Amino acid sequence: MTSLTVDLLEIPKIQTIEITDDTLSVDLSDGRTIAVPLAWYPRLLHGSVEERNSWRLIGSGDGIHWNQLDEDVSVKNIILGQSSAESQKSFQRWLNERQAKG
């Protein structure tokens, strides 16, 4: 029996991203493109198109940062299929503050 192992010491880097109304897609340095539901990241889901498109790579491609949404997503979490770990209470506080400003 063969088993698949993942060498987490050689995690590929994010090259570029694309965001639609319901998907976050990342192109990786190893040639893969991985798409995950935007619903995994509620701040992105509730952000405007302008806010979602205002991102920058961090850690030389280890992650993505959205300053206006105060959101960070790592390539490791995308590869492992892990959604946002933000608590519902924290997210609701952020959403309430947004609505009060808007």
Q: What is the pLDDT of residues 36-90, one digit of tens each?
A: 999 999 999 999 999 999 999 999 999 999 999 999 999 999 999 999 999 999 9
Residue 1 confidence class, pLDDT cut points 50, 70, 90: low
Domain boundaries, given as residue ranges, for the chain: 12-101
Query: 76: which 2 tokens?
Result: 């490791």
Q: What angle do CA 8, 90, 68 make, to 5 degrees?
A: 75
CB 24 within 8 A of CB 10: no
Judged on CB neighbours under 10 Å (0-12, 13-18, 19+), 43 is: buried
CB 35 within 8 A of CB 24: yes
Q: pTM here? A: 0.86
CATH class of the domain defined by 12-101 = alpha beta
